[in-house]
Structure 1
Amino acid sequence: MPGHAALSLNRCNLPARVLGSVAFQKAPQWLWLDGVMELHQAFFHSLKPFEKAATRASCFRDYMSSCFLLDHLDQAGLNPDAACARPRADFLRMLRGWMFDADSREAAVLKGWVESRFGLRPGYHLGPVGSYHSDSYRMFQAARAQGLYNTNALEAQLDVLYAWCQYELRRRWPDTLHFSLYRGANGWRQHDVLASLPDNRHILLLNNLNSFSSDKEHADAFGDTLLVTEVPAAKILWFPGLLPGVLPGEKEFLVIGGLYDVQRLLW
């Protein structure tokens, strides 16, 4: 893992240089954010009797509403007369913003959350993101701050979303550690290729958050290069059908980045 792509500290059970490595991709472990399961363990224990994913999803929506007062933001301190009141800036708004534009303000919040929790620095946002002292990094941090401003524990909401996604992955596919996913991309030469291997395989340093699809044709529509890789389940923040009825037309998986052994498909 290149040193510039990883922080020395994170809020996860494995350091960034480990969870961001190819070795982790090939032999993953489950990831845990510090204190999240401990804080919300009663909720996750309450899900055990429910066999239907739709029922559990309804419980999750209710829990998020009650835990973060999403339906009673006045009790959470919202001032509707504030110059920049943002009552709808919740975790679902961040997901919708990402699906619309991966360089949006909402996307900056998601990339900043990945950096904070997993220690993987963003490599691209409206252009390549440089070192801490670069203008590009300051612009990224400004977009992230704008996205977080006057919101209600937004990054804590994303913590619970990740824990929920991981719970559902283990519940629905208990024996699955990897998913074969596709990514369409433009400008192959602009990718951060660390090594080239036989059979059109390459070691890529991906952005700290990326969109993938399980549908080859759907992914191919998003670029002139089609990649396929084995994504650890532990690195998935969102998958289609996680919350039935939410973002129903989207087929994207949100995948945490790092180094990946990918195959470039020529077809």
Structure 2
Amino acid sequence: MDNNRQIEQDSQPPPSLPASARLPINRCNLPAVILGSLTFQAHPVPLEIDGIRDFHDDLFATLDATPEQTDRAQGFMDYMTVHFLLEELEEAGLTPGRKRKSRVNANYLRMVRGWSFDSDGREGAVLKRWVESRFGLLARHHAGSLVDRHSDAYHQYLLQGTRGLYATNALEAQLDLLYTYCQCELAREHSDSTHITLYRGINRMDEHEVLETRVCGRHRVLLNNLNSFTSNRERADEFGDYILVAEIPLPKVFFYNRLLPGMLKGEDEYVVIGGAYEVCISTI
């Protein structure tokens, strides 16, 4: 019996999310080993950042009672402006006479616009650090591989993320609310779905960490903890010789360009939380 059990265990595939890609704790309702797994991709459940809905229940009650998407978007943005004093930064603690432009503009909108411009820039580092904190998924790439925690690329990533958060007005809490609002809107827009098909243009498969190669062009890959996809296959053609096609669980969508007015420049862009995924690779 023991020998049979050992043979069965040896025949099982390795964990879908390597221990080196996750933290032991996070700030949401599922641990990283689960939410970053292939099982979660196949059978997703809602993800909730600790305390956000309870603390801002008045906001979400108001949004639930607002039928028009444009009105909800404006209501959300107005709430963010008032709650985080985004237009009254001296009341939020900014020293008068020392209004550095980078600090004044360091809000949730600046972060997502910066991501659209350069996901390996300072704003991208802040967003990837936020994913690490809230979901426990470690960044794998930022202007270079981050697998070696002693590398210059990793130290620069930490430096950029720290500088991006320094002296900001509860920036991570702003991102918490942005993600939660995004999930509310996706639940309305895709009330009968659990996934959305998204595309990513790539030039080489070795741009991603392959966990397992399967039949019919399918691969199990470890994505970076935050990634850009598009809902437009033709748009993905512009970014590589191959197209990575993935069924993305709706709870893994951080934000998308139609969520708020003027939010992102890229057409049909979705920013997706990473982990292990089964994907299909096809030629253009």
Q: Same fold (TM over 0.5)?
A: yes
2:38 counterpart residue number: 22
2:155 counterpart residue number: 138
Structure 1 regions of 5+ residues with no counterpart? none
1:129 counterpart residue number: 146
TM norm structure 1: 0.96
Code of the aligned partner of 2:224:
N
Q: State the 1:225 CA deviation.
A: 2.0
Code of the aligned partner of 2:104:
P
1:32 counterpart residue number: 48
For 2:148 and 2:133, the matched residues in 1 are separated by 16
* Secondary structure of the corresponding residue to residue 126 of structure 2: helix
Matched, 1:214 2:236: no
2:115 counterpart residue number: 98
1:196 counterpart residue number: 213
Matched, 1:114 2:131: yes
Q: State the 1:28 CA deviation.
A: 0.4
Code of the aligned partner of 2:84:
F
2:242 counterpart residue number: 225
Structure showing greater radius of gyration is 2
Q: For 1:251, which of 264, 268, 279 is the aligned residue?
A: 268
8 Å Cα contact 1:130-1:136 kept in structure 2: no
Structure 2 regions of 5+ residues with no counterpart? 1-16
8 Å Cα contact 2:202-2:241 kept in structure 1: yes
Structure 1 residues 207-216 or 123-132, which shifts more?
Answer: 123-132
1:175 counterpart residue number: 192
Code of the aligned partner of 1:16:
A
8 Å Cα contact 1:241-1:248 kept in structure 2: no
Task: Show CA shifts across 1:88-116 (max 9, x none).
Answer: 11000001110001100000000000000
Identity %: 49
Give the alignment's Cα RMSD to 1 decimal.
1.4
Structure 1 residues 22-31 or 79-88, which shifts more?
Answer: 79-88
Code of the aligned partner of 2:40:
F
* Secondary structure of the corresponding residue to residue 79 of structure 2: helix
Q: State the 1:131 CA deviation.
A: 4.2
* Secondary structure of the corresponding residue to residue 109 of structure 2: helix
TM norm structure 2: 0.90
